[in-house]
Amino acid sequence: MKPSDVARASHPRTAAARTQVVVLLLAVLLGLGFGALLRYADDRSWSGATTTTAVITGLRSDGVHAMAGGADVVLHLAKVPAPGTELAVEVRPDGRARPVSYRQTWGGALLQGTGLAVGLTIVVQLYRYAVTGRKPAS
């Protein structure tokens, strides 16, 4: 089966509803794979990190500074906590640090991967529907 045959068979103007459901199910499966890769990448990127409590010391030009395990670490946070606030962080041996709440969970990774794949599939199918006339290109 050629790619053009698949494209023709899955065209949103001519394919049955069952075919569109199969396209979405394939997107979900692809998204679950993306999610697993996100989780794997997060684990690899933060391997060797230790969890400790950091005390926020203040905001500087390069980010939010905190003392964690006797070392000054820089955190990049959307909201700046008040100095003296304690925060659970992961610190890597190379000095990078992040709040524990930023750790990728299985549920979050699978949801993000699935949302990405299904969202892109819907956009592509809507685009295919909108740019073609009543007949798909042959």
42's tokens: 């997060």
Distance CA 136, CA 69 (A): 63
Residue 14: partners with Cβ closer than 8 Å, 6 or more residues away: 8, 135, 136
pTM above 0.85, yes or no: no
Helix/strand/coil (H/E/C) assignment for every residue in 48-66: CCEEEEEEEEEEECCEEEE
At 7, is the pLDDT very low, low, confident or very high (cuts 50, 70, 90)? confident
Q: Render 57-99 in DSSP notation, one character per residue.
A: EEEETTEEEEEETTEEEEE--SSPPPTT-EEEEEE-TTS-EEE
pLDDT in tens, 18-38: 999 999 999 999 999 999 999
